[in-house]
Amino acid sequence: MQRLFSTFANGWPGRGLLLQRLLTAAILFHYAIAHFGETAPIASTVSQVIAAGAGILLLLGLWTPVAGTIVAIAELVIAMSHPADRWMCIMPAGLGATLAMIGPGYWSIDARLFGRKQVNMSGPSP
């Protein structure tokens, strides 16, 4: 993960990424819940479940580049299977793609697991 992102954004940019992750996850959960009330092709249902699962990872900020890519692909599959709602799928696909490119930010599990660690080189104190 550290090879993908040299730093995990902190301050206002980090808060913005946290907000983007929260909003993307909320959109994915909303669409998944609304989808189960309608009859739809199996490819669309499977894609909704996959997107909601990736939304959980985005919400936590865990494996964000992978989860964002999965969201983008799943939403594009949904867009192709639902021609009437195509543009409503483009928004979460774009959000997932941008999160995959930018990263999760400081307030994420990824930052805790893969962020830079401070090493004390002075040795033990007497």
Amino acid at 12: W
Query: Within a domain: residue 120?
Result: no
- Quick check: is 119 in a domain? no
Mean pLDDT of the chain: 85
8 close to 21: Cβ distance less than 8 angstroms = no
Nearest to 48 by CA among 84, 79, 11, 18: 79
Q: Which domain holds residue 105?
A: 11-114
81, part of any domain: yes
Number of separate domains in the chain? 1
Whether residue 126 lies inside any domain: the answer is no
pLDDT of residue 88: 87
Output the pLDDT for position 1.
Answer: 53
Q: What predicted TM-score, i.e. pTM, was given to this entire model?
A: 0.82
pLDDT in tens, 1-60: 545 555 688 888 899 999 999 999 999 999 889 887 777 677 778 888 999 999 999 999
The whole-number pLDDT of residue 61 equals: 93
Q: Please give the Cα distance from 33 to 62 (Å, whole number).
A: 22
